[in-house]
């Protein structure tokens, strides 16, 4: 069952009507015995807005962002053993990530975020590090020492966010360790994947509800930019069962996103023209792994002045990591990839 709700007066934006007041100053919360000084050191009346400005350079929080954050922070007052649940449907580029990244610094326990793709995890880790927010990644292929270091950082409070995927969280030994961390906020990003992938090639998504119950977080939030009523019902059923949840939905239209279809007799020639004239870095999607390699080779041959490479799941871990670092740091790159790679990344894309 979903319930929609309006933001209380105390959670409205700074320039909202005069009947609204700023978000009350929260208590200084403790994490692993160390105070989160971000609250204690703020002298203003709106520490959430101050933190957004100081660490993310964001001067204004939209009302829906404040509402989502308020639902997370209000969970601090709920009785132990109770879980708050919400589904947030906001368009691409509307600031969904901030809705869990910012509260992570104010909550007493870590925030665990489920991502569908390693590329998206790497991009988010880079952004968090740039903002000075401690975060660690849990993924397949990590050594025992790497996992121990990640959990040590989460326990000490040095890492406020844990970025993972459903497959690694479903491993019994990993799930047991996560359950002992005292996860406060469990986040499912790109949550439409729960319904769209869980029944096909990512069965681990079907087990997220069991993972949530084993970890027993205080808050569970599912974020997505797109969810039709059947998809919403399916993902809510898999994550929450029959439990009620809040639904926060914004208008899906994004005037800043442009879709264009160019009629052409030669698709490769049109692609070359686009890559020369439009901004980079750029993602070019191909239908298959072999297609990414052939396309990158052809573009490198015809456009030698542009550094073009390919990326797909068939590459080994070290190669993928090197390519991700290269692409995210470059201002002039072209990356030919299979279509799943670019989910959640903000770049020019050609298919």
Alpha helices in the chain, H assignment, sequence order: 37-40, 47-56, 63-74, 98-104, 118-130, 144-156, 166-169, 172-179, 192-197, 208-215, 229-240, 267-277, 289-302, 317-329
Domains of the chain plus CATH, in order, are: 2-27+35-249 (3.40.50.300), 267-350 (3.40.50.300)
* pLDDT, mean of residues 238-249: 94
Quickly state the pLDDT bin for 44 (edges 50, 70, 90).
Answer: low
| Contact present, 158 and 110 (Cβ < 8 Å) | no
| Residue given tokens 């160019």 in the structure block | 262
Average pLDDT, the chain: 81
pLDDT of residue 122: 83
Quickly state the pLDDT bin for 343 (edges 50, 70, 90).
Answer: low
pLDDT of residue 164: 96
| Residue given tokens 């933190």 in the structure block | 51
* pLDDT, mean of residues 130-149: 92
pLDDT of residue 94: 81
Query: Which structure tokens are listed for 246?
Result: 């809040």
Rounded CA gap, 99 and 96, in Å? 5
pLDDT of residue 2: 52
pLDDT of residue 14: 32
* pLDDT, mean of residues 140-154: 94
* pLDDT, mean of residues 121-128: 86
Quickly state the pLDDT bin for 6 (edges 50, 70, 90).
Answer: very low
pLDDT of residue 47: 82
* pLDDT, mean of residues 267-288: 90
205-239 residues labelled b (16+ CB within 10 A) or e (exposed)? bbbbbebbeebebbbbbbbbbebeeebbebbbebb
pLDDT of residue 35: 30
* pLDDT, mean of residues 102-110: 91
CA distances for 284 relative to 66, 197, 260, 263, 340, angstroms: 35, 23, 14, 17, 11
* pLDDT, mean of residues 197-221: 86
- The residue ranking higher by pLDDT, 270 or 1, is 270
Is the pLDDT reported for residue 221 higher than 90? yes
* pLDDT, mean of residues 319-345: 80
Quickly state the pLDDT bin for 243 (edges 50, 70, 90).
Answer: very high
Residue 91 contacts by C-beta under 8 Å, 6 or more apart in sequence?
A: 225, 250, 251, 252, 253, 254
Rounded CA gap, 100 and 16, in Å? 22
Query: What dihedral angle (degrees, nearest 10) is formed by the CA atoms of 286, 290, 296, 301?
Result: -130
Rounded CA gap, 292 and 302, in Å? 15
pLDDT of residue 56: 85
Closest CA to 99 of 123, 128, 67, 129: 67
pLDDT of residue 342: 58
| Contact present, 76 and 107 (Cβ < 8 Å) | yes
Query: Which structure tokens are listed for 256?
Result: 């800043």
| DSSP secondary structure, 320-334, as one string | HHHHHHHHHH-SS-E
* pLDDT, mean of residues 32-48: 48
Rounded CA gap, 340 and 351, in Å? 12
| DSSP secondary structure, 69-121, as one string | HHHHHHGGGSPTT--EEEEEE--TTS-TTHHHHHHHTTSSS-EEEE-S-HHHH
Largest CA distance in the chain: 66
- Over residues 284-330, the pLDDT tens digits come to 988 889 999 999 999 999 999 999 999 987 888 788 888 888 988 88
Residue 176 contacts by C-beta under 8 Å, 6 or more apart in sequence?
A: none
Of 166-175, 215-224, 275-284, which range is least confident? 275-284
pLDDT of residue 201: 64
- Over residues 93-104, the pLDDT tens digits come to 788 999 999 999
Share of the chain above pLDDT 70, in %: 81
């Amino acid at each position: 069952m979903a319930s929609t709700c309006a933001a209380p007066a105390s959670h409205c934006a700074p320039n909202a009507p005069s009947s609204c007041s700023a978000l009350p100053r929260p208590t200084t919360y403790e994490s692993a015995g160390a105070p989160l000084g971000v609250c204690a050191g703020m002298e203003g009346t709106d520490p959430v807005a101050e933190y957004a400005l100081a660490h993310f350079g964001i001067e204004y929080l939209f009302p829906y962002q404040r509402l989502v954050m308020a639902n997370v922070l209000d969970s601090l007052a709920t009785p132990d053993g109770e879980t708050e649940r919400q589904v947030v449907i906001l368009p691409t580029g509307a600031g969904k990530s901030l809705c869990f990244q910012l509260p992570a610094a104010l909550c007493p326990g870590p925030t665990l975020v489920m991502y569908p793709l390693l590329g998206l995890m790497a991009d988010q880790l880079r952004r968090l590090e740039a903002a000075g927010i401690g975060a660690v990644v849990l993924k397949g292929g990590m050594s025992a020492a790497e996992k121990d270091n990640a959990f040590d950082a989460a326990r000490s409070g040095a890492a406020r966010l844990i970025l993972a995927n459903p497959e690694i969280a479903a491993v019994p030994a990993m799930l047991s360790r996560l359950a002992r961390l005292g996860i406060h906020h469990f986040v499912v990003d790109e949550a439409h994947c729960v319904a769209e992938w869980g029944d096909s090639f990512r069965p681990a998504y079907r087990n997220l509800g069991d993972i949530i119950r084993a970890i027993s977080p205080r808050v569970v939030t599912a974020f997505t930019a797109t969810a039709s009523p059947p998809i919403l019902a399916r993902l809510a059923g898999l994550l929450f069962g029959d439990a009620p949840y809040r639904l926060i939905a914004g208008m899906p239209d994004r005037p800043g996103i442009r879709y264009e279809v160019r009629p052409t007799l030669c698709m490769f020639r049109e692609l070359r023209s686009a890559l020369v004239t439009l901004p980079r870095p750029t993602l070019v999607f191909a239908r298959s792994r072999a297609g990414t390699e052939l396309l990158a080779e052809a573009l490198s041959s015809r456009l030698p002045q542009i550094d073009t490479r390919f990326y797909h799941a068939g590459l080994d871990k070290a190669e993928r990591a090197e390519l991700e670092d290269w692409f995210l740091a470059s201002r002039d790159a072209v990356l030919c990839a299979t279509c799943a790679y670019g989910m959640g990344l903000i770049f020019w894309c050609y298919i």
